[in-house]
A and B are shown apart, each in its own frame.
Chain A
Amino acid sequence: MKDLLRLRTSLTEEIETLLNEQIKVEAYSSSLYLAMSSWCDRNGYDNSAGYLEKQSGEEREHMLKLFRYVNDLGGSAVSPEVINIPQEFDSFKGVFEMALQQEIQVTSNFNRIADRCQKANDYVTFQFLQWFLKEQVEEEYVARRILELFEVIGEEGTGRWEIDKHIPKVSFGISGE
């Protein structure tokens, strides 16, 4: 008797479902950052608006990377339905607090998927996930650094204007340069 399910794809149903859920989360991140970009734009934080728009594009790339992987392995990638994107935010700082929270959530998702891959002996997907785990170190670092600007520069006076100017310059691995 042939193993028809295995002939279809090397992904187990469980891993395929987890990857499709993560496709949805990345799509959510992408839409969330775009909403944040719009909020920053209409509140006068032009540089942050540009930065968040770029982030939104990167999240879409993450989504597509997962999407293509599922299809390449013979699975069925599902085009995600994204709802409940907040359009209003408490404050300039609140935007970046939420961004950090989102990144932390994504990191824990990838850890969970990696854990399930090991338990299911799916080392191919486990290997594939390494890129995302590394990427998350960078994403969390940048989000934390941005929040620190609010402390270091301070929000009083022209503080927010100054913070906005610095946000696009924050990047991973430039310390010491």
Chain B
Amino acid sequence: MQAKINTHLIEIFKTEFGSIYQCDQTNHFILEYAGRFTAFKPTNFIDFTKRVFAINLHDMASNTARHADIAILMPLYTETCFLLTMSDTIRLQRILGGAKTILHLNTLLKTSQLQFA
């Protein structure tokens, strides 16, 4: 199953800690982080990005309670449960934010191609 997913992947954005791929065959985005792959439908990918950016880093850093050291994301659309430390969160925000910029550029490029074709 994993191999099948991997054949049509286009790399969108990559850092030393993980990457985002797009699969044009299944119309999914795939997040690779900490050795794990998670596939998202576009709607869910946007939702997931929002959730990761909604994590309060300031609270994680300043709150001394132990539960504040970890953010838990359990989106119902994936089987994965994300337990994120502060550095995980920062890394994921960089990956997802970078991917968002590239995807936005792709949209701009596509629309201008249509306009000038």
Q: Within 8 Å of chain B (Cβ to Cβ): is A88? A: no
B106 touches A3 (CB 8 A): yes
Q: Within 8 Å of chain A (Cβ to Cβ): is B78? A: no
Q: Within 8 Å of chain B (Cβ to Cβ): is A13? A: yes
A3 touches B107 (CB 8 A): yes
In the complex, how many residues of chain B place their beta carbon closer than 8 angstroms to a beta carbon of chain A? 13
Tell me which residues across on chain B come within 8 A of A1, comparing CB atoms: 10, 22, 24, 106
- How many chain A residues sit at the interface, stated as a range, is 10 to 19
Tell me which residues across on chain B come within 8 A of A3, comparing CB atoms: 103, 106-107, 110
| A74 CB → nearest B CB, Å | 9
B46 touches A13 (CB 8 A): yes
Tell me which residues across on chain B come within 8 A of A8, comparing CB atoms: 42-43
Tell me which residues across on chain B come within 8 A of A4, comparing CB atoms: 22, 27, 29, 42, 103
B103 touches A5 (CB 8 A): yes
B22 touches A2 (CB 8 A): yes
Q: Within 8 Å of chain B (Cβ to Cβ): is A6? A: yes
Query: CB-nearest residue of chain B relative to A74?
Result: B43
Q: Within 8 Å of chain B (Cβ to Cβ): is A76? A: yes
Q: Within 8 Å of chain B (Cβ to Cβ): is A174? A: no
| B22 CB → nearest A CB, Å | 6
Q: Within 8 Å of chain B (Cβ to Cβ): is A7? A: yes
Q: What separation, in Å, do the CA atoms of A82 and B46 have in the docked complex?
A: 24
Q: Footprint of A on B, CB under 8 Å?
A: 10, 22, 24, 27, 29, 42-43, 46-47, 103, 106-107, 110
Q: Footprint of B on A, CB under 8 Å?
A: 1-8, 13, 76
8 cross-chain CB contacts under 8 A:
A2-B27, A3-B103, A3-B110, A4-B42, A5-B107, A6-B107, A8-B43, A13-B46
Q: Across the A-B interface, give the 6 residue pairs with the lowest CB-CB distance, nearest first.
A: A8-B42, A4-B42, A2-B24, A3-B110, A1-B10, A3-B107
